[in-house]
Chain A
């Protein structure tokens, strides 16, 4: 058997878990030992990829239990193995997989909780960049403020869900409240970002979410504020902007590394 075919068939056999007798016949080991020896590699592959998903989706694992998570993750691994050897990026497709996974349709909010966990993972590994400071903002001439396009720090992620994903996530933290106390009828907008090496997350008010989304869309400040004010009558730009600056959500105007 040529090397390419040998590798292709072993890959299929390892991921799908089926036995390939023609492949096993290539081995010098006694025939009754071959399946068991191959199983070491199958276990290694599954364990390695499962560990990556467990590390990225700890709350999803708590929500559905270890056994169910393992079965679900292995089904995902078999269908969507990583296609590059950079495993901190593996799992981006798990939320969409969960949304369509028949056995879990009774938990309609699960996929959005997974999206939140993936956003945390992405924030942890996002590029570093300097932050916009009040001092730097003050150097912008007032005549240019309306046309200013503020940029989000590369670690910032914005999520909107019809479910209380932040509350569900929070109830699975060591100091979180009970899951039973979460009102599943509440939609939430959540902000995730990294500051000083730590990933943070909090709820966003309607106006805050809209403003940050406009920044992400590269909208000039004056246009962004006009759009946001139309949606949130209580919106107060100075308050919101001051909080954005103190939390390090905006990128330096000069785009330099920090």
Chain B
């Protein structure tokens, strides 16, 4: 039996995404990470060394669970079996934060595409996503944080832009916002927009967590596309955008994500240290 403990609170500090190559470092010695976030789907196995490692580490570090497969944007509704798996996982791990994406990855025929695919921000989509969020929040018995996606294309048919759509979702479902600052930057540049513009309309009062990560720049016939590959250090403009976001939200838990070309743990911890510096420069939330 796993003992049930109170959900450890994630402080307004920088945490890191826990990735498999760093498990040995964490198991060998305590690491200077204020909190950890894992991809929920990586820990759904019945057993094995990874699950065992997380069971141990959750006792030493506050934990956040970041789902990458619930597919809140699926027109066909949620996969009930997956919802039940996640419910059991969260019941067992008691994470301080639980998040998902404003995106879809499961097609109507059930195929799982392993990517966060884009949604048209229409009334139909709002109804679909709000119903799915309500169902998930009910199943998990807790507030779900929704992350703004990185996008590479836009649909003509739209009743809202992304910021207003997220505000509408937060209003209708009571969900929180996981504001991914890198995604904000990547999407804005990919659509020729100002990354600061959405900050006036996003539901910033609902922000409970912030993500930062590196992105790649790819040349195309029509200029550069930014790709959200989490494969490098956080870019300079994203740090600046983080400072602008924190100035409005006040200090929040900030997570550094690094998923491809994963560096040695000290490199990742140094990024977190830098995020902590930005947090220390911020006064508490205005008002």
Contacts and interface: CB of A to CB of B under 8 A. Distances in A.
Interface stretch (A101-109, A122-130, A242-250): A122-130
B76 interface: yes
Given A2-B124, A28-B154, A28-B156, A36 B69 contact: no
Given A7-B74, A32-B222, A45 B113 contact: yes
A81 B112 contact: yes
B225 interface: yes
Secondary structure at the B interface, as helix, strand, loop or mixed, is: loop
Contacts of B113: 11, 14-15, 45, 81
B264 interface: no
Nearest to A12: B107
Interface stretch (A84-92, A168-176, A202-210, A221-229): A84-92
A85 B85 CA distance: 11
B153 A29 contact: yes
A40 B49 contact: no
B82 to A, nearest CB: 6
A38 interface: yes
A60 to B, nearest CB: 20
B220 A36 contact: yes
Of B69, B107, B118, most buried by chain A (CB within 10 Å of CB) is B107
Contacts of B109: 8, 11
Interface stretch (B9-17, B38-46, B239-247): B38-46
A85 B47 contact: no
B68 to A, nearest CB: 7
A10 B117 contact: yes
B108 A4 contact: yes
Contacts of A82: 111-112, 114
Contacts of A100: none
A10 B109 CA distance: 12
Given A8-B109, A40-B152, A45 B81 contact: no
A124 B85 CA distance: 19
Nearest to A24: B153
B273 interface: no
Contacts of A85: 41, 68-71, 79, 82, 105-106, 112, 114
B52 A128 contact: yes
B153 A83 contact: no
Given A2-B75, A10-B117, A36 B112 contact: no
A194 B222 contact: no
Contact of B76 (A4, A32, A38, A44): A4
Contacts of B104: 7
Contacts of B111: 11, 15, 81-83
A15 B107 CA distance: 11
B28 interface: no
Contacts of B112: 81-85
Interface of B: 41-42, 44-49, 52, 68-71, 73-76, 79, 81-82, 85, 104-115, 117-120, 122, 124-125, 128, 152-158, 190, 220-222, 225, 227
Given A3-B125, A29-B154, 10 more contacts: A6-B75, A7-B117, A11-B109, A30-B222, A38-B152, A52-B114, A81-B111, A85-B82, A85-B114, A154-B47
Interface of A: 2-4, 6-8, 10-11, 14-15, 26-30, 32-34, 36-38, 40-41, 44-45, 48-49, 52, 81-88, 124-129, 154-155, 194, 197-198
13 contacts: A3-B73, A26-B120, A26-B156, A28-B154, A32-B221, A37-B225, A40-B225, A44-B115, A45-B115, A86-B44, A88-B42, A126-B46, A128-B48
